[in-house]
Amino acid sequence: MLRKLLIGTALASGLAFAAHAEDVKEVQMLHWWTSGGEAAALNVLKQDLAKEGYAWKDVPVAGGGGDAAMTALKAMVAAGNYPTASQMLGYTVLDYAAAGVMGDLTETAKKEGWDKSVPAALQKFSVYDGKWVAAPVNVHSVNWLWINKAVMDKIGGTEPKTFDDFVALLDKAKAAGVVPLALGGQNWQEATMFDSVVLSTGGPEFYKKAMNDLDDASLKSDTMKKSFDNLAKLVTYVDPNFSGRDWNLATAMVIKGDALVQVMGDWAKGEFHAANKTPGTDFLCYRFPGTDGSVIYNSDMFGMFNVPDDRKAAQVALATATLSKSFQSAFNVVKGSVPARTDVPDTDFDACGKKGIADLKKANEGGTLFGSLAQGYGAPPAVANAYKDVVSKFVHGQIKTSDEAVTELVKAIDDAK
């Protein structure tokens, strides 16, 4: 469908700009980095490019997880109005590449040695048909807990190692009159949390089969049903106002001590960082109970569009800056993610960042690095959207039982495939 919509626009856009001879010294970037921590991270990039004489034309489309941004991108590209680059997740990059609208950064990649420094798991989504079409910015991971340390001390809590430990900890917070679980009731947040629940409930092999291979028997299994039971249990610990809440407002509840914990990708750490909070002193980062040793990842990619010739120099400057070692450190320290290259020292990262880097390396080597289904790295967008929809209907009571949730999930994924 994307292909049909986009056909013809590549040519149109090329012609429209063909008359310009001089390079346009501007980078136009579509993204959904609109929270405090995200904006601070983006500033690192803007400043790097400004030093090289490139102006920044911002196209922000709010909405964590990027669904609204991707709708805006589709409209821009269909109109032949290509941004220099767009923030994108995994399978979406491949969709646009298949539609023939992406540029080719292979020359830059060769010069910069990206083949050697970018992990294979990311190259799978940034290289299409032998050509580099995207520059990976970072590696995020979703199976984390973010905990307010003062609240944890007050309730006498310790790191939960199993799902049952986690429930016991949430009970302690409840008994102390604190909101146990800060959740934003939007489908992508609920599904992002469910990724971790599935991994915790079924283990690494099960996660891979169900959430990356879309294995029918696994999706239909009692383990998947149990995963929904566990999700239902967690939802009993959220406050009554959770529906529709933005993810960063849920993080703010934990930062302020109004809630004990948020289950969220490590972009949440960007909010703690922006609020000058220190891990170990103000907050704690633990792996989601029962998922230690595995990493569910997503990576923000800057998808590079096939812009007219006079805008290509700016694109190369953006791509080069993005994958430079110094930027990979400076940006990811602020963003909460870890570098998209394997050769960046962890010196400047805080304790959670150092753990993130070490965990990624171990998972990558040990075969326990898995794509997040909620975050575009488990399956193509249609399947991911079907998944988010079913999980959200379950959380909000439109799907009433775990049995029904499993049936609906299998059906929705089948229809989307």
Which residue ranges make up the site for ligand BGC (CB under 6 A)? 32, 38, 64-66, 89, 140, 247, 267, 298, 300, 375
- CA 228/CA 401 separation, integer angstroms: 8
- Minimum Å gap between C-beta 32 and ligand BGC is 5
Nearer to ligand BGC, 28 or 298 (CB): 298
Give the nearest distance from C-beta 65 to ligand BGC in angstroms: 5
In this complex, which beta carbon is closest to ligand BGC, that of residue 191 or of residue 399? 191
C-alpha–C-alpha distance, residues 110 and 97, integer Å: 19
Residue (90 or 202) nearer to ligand BGC, CB: 90
Q: Kindly tell me which of 37 and 157 has the beta carbon lying closer to ligand BGC.
A: 37
Let me know: does 30 contact 72? Beta carbons within 8 Å. yes
Output the smallest distance, CB 200 to ligand BGC, in A: 21
**Could you tell me if 101 and 306 are in contact, meaning their C-beta atoms sit under 8 angstroms apart?**
yes
Task: Give 200 or 298: the residue with its C-beta nearer to ligand BGC.
Answer: 298
Q: How far is the CB of 171 from ligand BGC (least distance, A)?
A: 29
Q: Report in angstroms how near the CB of residue 31 gets to ligand BGC at its nearest.
A: 8
Nearer to ligand BGC, 48 or 266 (CB): 266
Closer CB to ligand BGC, residue 225 or residue 335? 335
Separation CA 379–CA 163 (nearest Å): 26
Residue 58 or 403: the one with the smaller Cβ distance to ligand BGC is: 58
**Shortest CB 250 distance to ligand BGC, Å:** 11
- Residue 153 beta carbon to ligand BGC: minimum distance, rounded to whole angstroms: 28
Q: How far is the CB of 35 from ligand BGC (least distance, A)?
A: 6
